[in-house]
């Protein structure tokens, strides 16, 4: 069962959502107060003023280190005053999807047929992997490159240990506590995600493995640096951090089909919020907002005026 736990964990941590939303009017001066309160939390964010109200886009990174000096209580207060919140996408997983995962487990967690890592990696990359195997007393020869990459990032680099609540967790709990309407950015069927992952050729995960090895080779200092840059609103530095690079090069974001679908959902959802009244507070993965031709670029291309820190 441990061998199939990672895809479920990935499916749940990649995404996050709640229920339906209903427009609520917010006075202009109250809107300004909500924006200021949200900004004082220390999370990087962007605002879009519309004829009907204001959209706040909170740029989220997963696994914020405990050492990062941001103020989630202020984001909770801002959430309590919002007209609605939009949270990350989650897969819709059915009991049938769990069975599908069990039967497809080997296709997801191991290399196909009798192949081994040496059949796919060039000599320098294979030497790097062998060095990490020796250092951590692991055997990665038959493991899926995605599983190997996640093992390196989570269990060896330990990027998701000693962390605070993510912004989406803070906002979701505050919205539920204060009866603020919650909305999904979109919905992706678990069946589609599992099929996409199971059918991906091993070669498609090589950039993920390479970036994960680079992050582990650099060491844990980059974890705190990523948190500090996020808190300092240095978005280009966060995007260039080897840990963030690794997370962005792994499935599902790096998958040509699935990644494009997820990004399209976010862009359409935020653009659709332009017609909503009051304050819409959305928590969006920073890499999806700030990457080249990402959500912020696409919203600006559609004529929206975006205020906030430079993202490139």
Mean pLDDT of 117-132: 98
For residues 193 and 117, the model is more confident at 117
Q: Which of these ranges, 24-28, 94-98, 298-302, has the smallest mean pLDDT?
A: 24-28
What confidence tens digit (pLDDT) does each residue in 99-113 have?
555 545 567 889 999
Is residue 166 a contact partner of residue 239, using CB atoms and an 8 Å limit?
no
Of 241, 269, 265, whose CA–CA distance to 253 is shortest? 265
Q: Is the pLDDT of residue 126 over 50?
A: yes
Name the phi and psi angles at 253, rounded to 5.
-60, -35
Dihedral angle of Cα 137, 141, 147, 153, to the nearest 10 degrees: 40
* End-to-end Cα, the chain, rounded Å: 42
Assign 253 a pLDDT band (cuts: 50, 70, 90). Answer: confident
Task: Answer whether the bond into residue 32 is a cis peptide, omega within 30°.
Answer: no
Which is higher by pLDDT, 109 or 22? Answer: 109
C-alpha 275/C-alpha 53 separation (Å) is 8
- The yes-or-no verdict on residue 220 having pLDDT over 50 is yes
Res 27: pLDDT: 56
Residues 6+ apart with CB under 8 A from 34: 26, 54, 56, 78, 81, 82, 279, 281
Q: Which two tokens stand for residue 278?
A: 């009051």
**Domain definitions of the chain by residue range:** 2-307
Please report, to the nearest 10 degrees, the dihedral formed by the alpha carbons of residues 15, 159, 215, 42 taken in order. Answer: 70
- C-alpha to C-alpha distance for 35 and 277, rounded to whole angstroms: 15
Structure tokens at 46: 């962007």
Write the DSSP assignment of 67-118 as a string of letters. Answer: TS---HHHHHHHHHH-SEEEE--EEE--HHHHHHHHHHHHHHHB-STT--GG
Mean pLDDT, residues 32-37 taken together: 94
How confident is the model over 48-68, as pLDDT tens digits?
999 889 999 999 999 999 999
pTM of structure:
0.85
Task: Pull the structure tokens for residue 291.
Answer: 């990457």
Residue 29's pLDDT is what?
A: 72
Position 123 scores a pLDDT of 97
Average per-residue pLDDT for the chain? 87
Query: With 70 as the cut, is the pLDDT of residue 142 above it?
Result: yes
Q: Would you state the pLDDT for residue 23?
A: 39
What pLDDT score does 2 carry? 38
């Amino acid at each position: 069962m441990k061998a199939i736990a990672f895809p479920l964990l990935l499916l749940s941590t990649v995404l996050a959502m709640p229920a339906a939303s209903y427009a609520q009017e917010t006075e202009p001066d109250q809107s300004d107060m909500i924006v200021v309160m949200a900004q004082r939390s220390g999370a990087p964010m962007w605002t879009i003023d519309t004829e009907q109200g204001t959209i706040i886009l909170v740029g989220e990174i997963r696994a914020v280190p405990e050492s990062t000096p941001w103020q989630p209580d202020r984001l909770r207060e801002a959430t309590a005053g919002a007209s609605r919140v939009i949270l990350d996408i989650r897969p819709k997983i059915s009991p049938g999807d769990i069975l599908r995962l069990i039967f497809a487990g080997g296709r997801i967690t191991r290399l196909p047929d009798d192949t081994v890592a040496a059949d796919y990696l060039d000599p320098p990359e294979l030497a790097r992997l062998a060095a990490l195997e020796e250092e951590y007393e692991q055997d990665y020869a038959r493991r899926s490159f995605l599983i190997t990459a996640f093992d390196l990032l989570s269990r060896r680099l330990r990027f998701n240990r000693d962390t605070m609540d993510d912004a989406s967790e803070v906002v979701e709990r505050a919205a539920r506590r204060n009866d603020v309407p919650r909305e999904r950015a979109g919905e992706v069927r678990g069946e589609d995600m599992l099929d996409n992952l199971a059918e991906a050729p091993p070669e498609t995960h090589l950039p993920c493995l390479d970036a994960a090895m680079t992050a582990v080779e650099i060491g844990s200092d980059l974890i705190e640096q990523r948190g500090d840059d996020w808190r300092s609103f240095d978005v280009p530095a966060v995007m260039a951090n080897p840990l963030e690079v690794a997370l962005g090069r792994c499935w599902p974001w790096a998958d040509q089909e699935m990644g494009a679908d997820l990004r399209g959902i976010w862009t359409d959802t935020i653009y659709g919020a332009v017609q909503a009244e009051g304050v819409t507070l959305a928590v969006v993965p920073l890499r999806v907002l700030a990457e080249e031709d990402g959500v912020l670029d696409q919203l600006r291309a559609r004529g929206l005026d975006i205020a906030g820190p430079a993202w490139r």
